[in-house]
Amino acid sequence: MDPCEMGRDLEKVLLTEEEISQRLTEMAAEIDADYAGREILLVGVLKGAAMVMADLSRKLAHDARMDWMAVSSYGSGTKSSGVVRIIKDLDTDLTGRDVLIVEDIVDSGLTLSWLAANLRSRGPASVEIAALLRKPCEAKVQVNVKYCGFDIPGEFVVGYGLDYGERYRTLPFVGTLAPHVYA
Ligand code: 5GP
């Protein structure tokens, strides 16, 4: 996509590349301290968490393992349906492992609460959640996000892995879209 065209589609930048990087550095330091002496298995949720996973994992002092899941919880449009389907499962046996789910955003919380319960049923030593973004005003279920980057308003955001119709994922920042994009 033409970068100029992408720029015209944006309404405002919510979080700059620098703000995201700085917050991920802080989160990585917290995670390193909490998991001292333990091996972490990072579970990234495709596709949205790809950027968070790449940047957060490289800020960790830990030599963490990495695996990926793909789930679908959106029927269509911009709201979670609550019905979660596994599209790609993990390659790793979770028995006895310290699992850290890495997510892009917690909106209603329906996807993550389902995912955390699903992973907990596989016999891990622990399951915690790291999410770059959370929309507290949209929460439908309580999810314990141990490492949260930013609480944001209940607006639909794109960039830094987050898409709208598979576009805008490659933006290095998080922003909102201009109304004409939805029209
Ligand atoms: P939840 O089940 O918490 O409502 O939604 C979780 C998933 O919905 C996220 O992993 C993400 O894929 C998608 N999602 C929720 N809010 C947004 C948003 O503001 N922008 C984008 N692009 N995706 C979102």
**Model confidence pLDDT, tens digit, residues 58-71:** 999 999 999 999 99
Nearest-atom index, ligand 1, CA of 156: 19
What is residue 101's predicted lDDT score, i.e. its pLDDT?
98
Q: Which CATH class is domain 17-153?
A: alpha beta
> pTM for the whole thing?
0.93
User: Does the C-beta of 162 come closer than 6 Å to ligand 1?
Assistant: yes
Q: What is the C-alpha to C-alpha distance for residues 163 and 108, in angstroms, rounded to an integer?
A: 17
Nearest-atom index, ligand 1, CA of 110: 2
Amino acid at 21: S
* Per-position b or e across 72-97, b if 16+ CB within 10 A of its CB: ebeeeeeebeeebeeeeeeebebeeb
First and final C-alpha spacing in the chain = 19
Edge-to-edge strands, sheet with 98-106: 80-88, 65-74, 40-46, 98-106, 126-134, 147-151
Write the residue with the smallest CA distance to atom 15 of ligand 1.
Answer: 107
Ligand 1 pocket test: pick from 83, 87, 148, 162 the residue with the most ligand atoms within 8 Å of its Cβ: 162
Per-block average pLDDT, block size 10, for the chain (183 residues)?
71 97 98 98 97 98 96 68 88 98 95 95 98 92 96 96 95 94 84
- Domain ranges in the chain are 17-153
Nearest-atom index, ligand 1, CA of 140: 4
What is residue 6's predicted lDDT score, i.e. its pLDDT?
72
User: Does the C-beta of 163 come closer than 6 Å to ligand 1?
Assistant: yes
Task: Tell me if 38 sits within 8 A of 61, measured CB to CB.
Answer: no
User: Does the C-beta of 14 come closer than 6 Å to ligand 1?
Assistant: no
Catalytic residue selected from 55, 98, 104, 107: 107
User: Does the C-beta of 105 come closer than 6 Å to ligand 1?
Assistant: yes
User: Does the C-beta of 94 come closer than 6 Å to ligand 1?
Assistant: no
Q: What is the C-alpha to C-alpha distance for residues 14 and 64, in angstroms, rounded to an integer?
A: 30
Catalytic annotation present for 107: yes
